[in-house]
Amino acid sequence: MALALSDSGLAFLKKWERFRAKPYNDGYGNMTIGYGHVILPGEKFTQLTEAEGAALLAKDAAWAASVVTQLVRVPLSQSQFDALVSLVFNWGSGNFTNSSHLTLLNAGDYAGTAQRIREHPITSGGQRSQGLVNRRAAEADLFARDGLYSLAEMEDFARRASEEASTTATAPAPAPAPVSESTSQTNILPFLVVGGLLLVALAWD
């Protein structure tokens, strides 16, 4: 049976998209409203309630979930599915379709996929975005774990990501380092496939 976005996955998505009652430019020239809903031709919105925004989010999330279901050819856990739905929702289906993320995943490289999610995309309008760095790190962590995030865990992860970013910004560095070495302190330990299920252990440095 095909997976669907879980309640925890929807809460994860709402946390990162944040609610906007009035239309705004998303930084790419797209007028957007509610929880990251891109206003389509023929749609006219001047203001939304949170309930209306949540209804739009449910439809948009269902679209992102259908993209993941159609393109991914390997088994996924619920957490992996939720993480990919968040990525596609934010990044778009075209980008995901032609991405190294999908190539790695369909080759069965789950650990490599998690690392690639952590690394890209983290720019907005050509500029490195700390908000996207934090979101990609959270999505990668969710993808690499077995189980679902609670709201408390999501808030704690966002806090730690913010503290880490602040520390990284003030620490002296002998030479520029790749983004992937400075965005998170989560190490993915060797994984084990048992009965077709991917088991992944995480450890904080």
Residue 200 lies in a domain: no
pLDDT (tens digit per residue) in 3-13? 999 999 999 99
The residue segments making up the domain with residue 63 are 7-167+182-192
pLDDT at res. 199: 41
**Residue 123 pairs with which residues in a beta bridge?**
128
Out of 20-24, 36-40, 55-59, 144-148, pick the least confident. 144-148
In a domain? residue 201: no
Rounded-to-integer distance, Cα 205 and Cα 193, Å:
24
The string of pLDDT tens digits covering residues 96-122 is 999 999 999 999 999 999 999 999 888
| Overall number of domains in the chain | 1
List pLDDT tens digits, range 183-198: 333 333 333 333 444 4
- Where residue 34 falls among pLDDT bands split at 50, 70, 90? very high
Does some domain include residue 203? Answer: no
The answer to whether position 33 is within a domain reads yes
> Does residue 27 or residue 194 have the better pLDDT?
27
Q: Does residue 105 belong to any structural domain of this protein?
A: yes
Q: Let me know if residue 41 belongs to a domain.
A: yes
**Cβ partners under 8 Å of residue 148, min gap 6:** 6, 8, 9, 78, 79, 82
- Residue, of 138 and 160, whose pLDDT is higher: 138
In a domain, 156, yes or no: yes
Among the options 17, 139, 141, 164, which is catalytic? 17
7 has catalytic annotation:
no
> What integer best gives the mean pLDDT of the chain?
79
CATH assignment at residue 125 = 1.10.530.40
Q: What percent of the chain has pLDDT over 90?
A: 59
Whether 17 is catalytic is: yes
Q: Is 76 inside a domain boundary?
A: yes
pLDDT at residue 162 is higher than 60: no
